[in-house]
Structure 1
Amino acid sequence: MMKRIGGSPEKALNNDFKLDTNALLQQAWNLTKSTILPLLGALLLIWAISQAGGYLLQSFFDFQMPETPEEFESMVLPTGFVLSMLVLYFFLLLPMQAAMYKMGIRNAAAVEAEYPETYKNKPLMVFNYLSNPFRYGGVELLRGIIPVVALVIGIMIHPFVGFALAGFVAISLQLSTPLVVQDGLNPFKAIGVSFRVIAKNFVPFLVITFVMIVLVFLSALLLFIPLLWFVPMYYNLIGLVYKDVFGIEVEISDQADINTVV
């Protein structure tokens, strides 16, 4: 039998939830201690495929990346190279990135699941969504494009307005991909639901985003090595947030369900 733990879609849409940012960050940190290896393995696969794909396309189109500012200014990208990179990005890398959110949600579910071993991740799960790139890559693409559109519109008013609006929109769309991979919403509906829910309760999401940005900047002081921890932690954090906001269905035994009712 299935039981929804954490929040629920109804409560989320009615703004009937509270997020304890300190507790969520602490939970994400602790959860990462036991789940980091599969996440790192999946991230390594994404990195390796992106590097290999870029190298092969550069070789095929006989294109060399510029090494000096002068070469960069005079750089002309071959049309075929650009189109091929876009295909690689949309049909391969974006669905793989969407799968990372699903892995974070599975880790969050395992915390309260009766059978946590069934939610263990494997690095190869990063390939789970390649069969439907228009759904899983599409939502990731929309998440990237919409804040840029907001930036352009806002800058027409004032640069500060542009960056503030883009930041607000980007944060408000944070749960759109999890809504697609976990609850099966189509990309456009997921975008709308995520924006509606987060915009009404924006401050906790702003705090979480700010903390993660600070951690990235601090990582720069150590050659970005701490990102090997913070990036997996980010996906676990989003999974925990999703659980508290929308809830996650987990499998329970019939006996456990009877005991709950009694």
Structure 2
Amino acid sequence: MPEKKIIISVGGSVERAVKGDYDINVKAVLTEAWQYTLQSRVSINLSLFLVLFFGMVVSFIASSFFGGIEVVIEDPQLLQIINIIVTIAVWPFMAGIEMMGVYHAINKPTQTKMILSFLHRGSWVALCALLTSLLISIGFQLLIIPGVLLAVLLSLTVPLVVEKKLTPMQAIILSIKALRFKVMPLLSIYTVLFMALFSLVLPVALLVESTFAPIAIVVFLFGFSYLAPWYYNVKGILYRDIFGVFVDESTTYSDLTNTIETKPATKSTDHNDSDDTFSA
């Protein structure tokens, strides 16, 4: 008889998450994510560069159909259309970067080619990105605080669509249900990351017209090469601790032995029965 495949659940679980049965230690999350960043940041940085370049190409091509970039910038409606097009094109690849943080959180190595690994969920990811962006934009238009809260509550929707195979609406609802219990710790974590970004951008803004502008830009790029992986590693750890990650038993997780729960590799109730492709 063939050996029965076993998977292990690392971290939290959906069942406990919707009950608020999890803890977030702000310092511990930031520290652990920083350690992962120091160990491996090349894959995320290279992937971000490739996706950014691809997004610029898509934006340039799409803008050319509307008369050029100058025309698009001057027309808010055209600019919004371009943003939607770029979001749809880019986010299927961004899902791979999001999952790099999750993989680091369970001590699995990552490579740049991971940006191609989840394209089978690409249509769902793009739709999820559009919906979350719309909700957050509405929140900011109403008042700043609702927009910030929605940005926090919806920050883990893409991994849910990819790893738990949920539909965008299921991921949005589950993310809000689970994360609402720990808004303040989550807000504290994202505030630290935002302040780190602000501290990198400020010198560039102040020195942009001076002879020190090149130095400020170099410092920004160097700092951002650490900040971006740190951000995605933080999200990966939060996802692991809140929703849990199902992985093959053959992988060793020496740093997470206290959070491992063995389960048979049958279809999980955390996964949705939806297909990996989306058709309107």
TM-score by length of 1: 0.80
1:58 shift after superposition: 4.1
Match of residue 128 from structure 1: 117
User: CA separation in 1, counterparts of 2:27 and 2:76?
Assistant: 46
User: CA separation in 1, counterparts of 2:18 and 2:109?
Assistant: 30
User: CA separation in 2, counterparts of 1:76 and 1:10?
Assistant: 46
Match of residue 129 from structure 2: 140
Match of residue 22 from structure 1: 27
1:11 shift after superposition: 1.4
1:53 shift after superposition: 2.3
Which of 165, 168, 176 lines up with 1:195 in the alignment?
A: 176
Q: Which runs of 5+ in 1 are unaligned?
A: 111-118, 155-161
Match of residue 11 from structure 1: 16
Match of residue 65 from structure 1: 70
Match of residue 208 from structure 1: 189
1:100 shift after superposition: 1.3
Contact 2:157 2:172 (8 Å CA) reproduced: yes
Question: Structure 2 vs 1, CA of residues 26 and 54 (structure 1 numbering), >3 Å: closer, same or farther?
Answer: same
1:19 is matched by which residue type in structure 2? I
Match of residue 43 from structure 1: 48
Contact 2:12 2:242 (8 Å CA) reproduced: yes
Match of residue 185 from structure 1: 166
User: CA separation in 2, counterparts of 1:131 and 1:10?
Assistant: 26
1:1-262 aligned within 5 A = 1-59=6-64, 61-65=66-70, 75-76=74-75, 83=81, 86-90=84-88, 92-110=89-107, 119-152=108-141, 154=142, 162-220=143-201, 221=203, 222-223=216-217, 224-225=220-221, 226-253=223-250
User: CA separation in 2, counterparts of 1:61 and 1:192?
Assistant: 36
User: CA separation in 1, counterparts of 2:80 and 2:157?
Assistant: 27
Match of residue 207 from structure 2: none
Q: Which runs of 5+ in 2 are unaligned?
A: 1-5, 204-215, 263-280
1:61 shift after superposition: 5.0
User: CA separation in 2, counterparts of 1:61 and 1:36?
Assistant: 38
Contact 2:98 2:159 (8 Å CA) reproduced: yes
1:190 shift after superposition: 0.6
Question: Structure 2 vs 1, CA of residues 143 and 84 (structure 1 numbering), >3 Å: closer, same or farther?
Answer: closer
Identity %: 23
Q: Deviations along 1:36-64, whole A, 9 cap, x unmatched?
A: 01111110111111122233344555414
Aligned length: 234
Which SS does the other structure have where 2:119 is aligned?
coil
Which SS does the other structure have where 2:8 is aligned?
strand
Question: Structure 2 vs 1, CA of residues 253 and 231 (structure 1 numbering), >3 Å: closer, same or farther?
Answer: closer
Q: Deviations along 1:168-189, whole A, 9 cap, x unmatched?
A: 1111111111111111111101
2:191 is matched by which residue type in structure 1? F
User: CA separation in 2, counterparts of 1:51 and 1:100?
Assistant: 18
Contact 2:11 2:244 (8 Å CA) reproduced: yes
List structure 1 segments (4+ residues) > 6 angstroms apart after TM superposition.
Answer: none
1:202 shift after superposition: 1.0
User: CA separation in 1, counterparts of 2:50 and 2:179?
Assistant: 31
Match of residue 157 from structure 1: none
